[in-house]
Amino acid sequence: MVTFLNIVIAGLLLGGLYALIAMGLSLQYGVARVLNVSHGEFIMLGGLITWTLYTAFGVNPLLSLAICGPLTFLLGFIIHRTVFKRLLTSSESRGVFESNSMLASFSLLFIIQNIASIAWGPEIRGYSYLRVPVNLAGAVFGANRLMTLGFAVVIGVAFYLFIARTRTGKAIRAAAQDPAAAGLMGVNIDRVLALCFGLGAALAGTAGMLISLCYPVHVAMGLEYTVIALIVVVLGGLGSIPGSFIGGFALGIIGSVVTNIDPSLSLIAYYLIFVLLLLVKPTGIMGR
């Protein structure tokens, strides 16, 4: 007998992951104005790197966070510094940059995916870590999944505090609201945008590591997560970090409810929400 509480807990477990990947995309799209279609590829990289480190070198998956995070950050930062910064200077308006950068991120998707399939091949990879059952509110959940939620919440909250309280966090928000005015305040816009893109990639890489704890990972897994992240970002309001965090959990719970009715319906339900939202309230639940 599955109770409502179980469905909610399962939703929160899923929602934690959604929140992380959505916060990442929110930084890239909401601040750096790159609708990064290759967001999911960084998730895939995080997952597969964690798998390799664990199966080939015996590195504890939780420790690989300290490797995946910085690695994907660096990759994102460098990509922004080289590709997107150049596009930004060559585009005459923000609208032109947004469409150019989306096209560029499409090619990024194919490049990363192709390199990854040379490295890892098409096989579905999984490993078993901390798969001990834990009894919670009358239902059984894997310790690995609970661990995922814990990490997602800690990282999400830390990230929120970083954006809300620190000098750099304020610069990021200012750059999102008015990049030219932020420059006049002394913010090095190029650097802040690259930082946002890198942090977005690092959040994706971290989420990938957490996903690999619970689900099998493979080279083609990225796009589904990109779509989910995009839905959450719209749900939570473009550019709103708290919105993405809350929206992630909201979508997780919705997904869990729908999965309980029929697992094959969850993606369809997400798309339905997305379309309805765009029609009814395109500024998102936290938007004005």
Convert residues 151-190 into a mask of x (bound to another protein by CB under 8 A) and - (unbound): ----------------x--xx-xx--xx-xxxxxxxxxxx
With left for phi above 0 and alpha for psi between -120 and 50, is residue 284 left, alpha or beta?
left
CA distance 183 to 190: 9
Q: Would you say 172 or 202 has its CB closer to another protein?
A: 172
Convert residues 61-100 into a mask of x (bound to another protein by CB under 8 A) and - (unbound): -------------------------------x--------
Q: Would you say 178 or 224 has its CB closer to another protein?
A: 178
Q: Would you say 107 or 188 has its CB closer to another protein?
A: 188
- For 260-280, b/e burial (b = at least 16 CB within 10 A) is beeeeebeebbeebbeebeee
3-state secondary structure of 12: helix
CA distance 100 to 108: 12
Q: Would you say 122 or 167 has its CB closer to another protein?
A: 167
Convert residues 188-207 into a mask of x (bound to another protein by CB under 8 A) and - (unbound): xxx-----------------
Beta-carbon count within 10 A of 134 CB: 14
In the complex, least distance from residue 167 CB atom to another protein, rounded to whole angstroms: 7
Q: Would you say 100 or 260 has its CB closer to another protein?
A: 100
Structure tokens at 164: 């809300």
Number of residues that bind another protein (CB under 8 A): 19
In the chain, beta strands by DSSP E: 133-136, 139-142
In the complex, least distance from residue 74 CB atom to another protein, rounded to whole angstroms: 23
Intra-chain end-to-end CA distance of the chain, in Å: 41
Residues that bind another protein (CB under 8 A): 92, 167, 170-171, 173-174, 177-178, 180-190
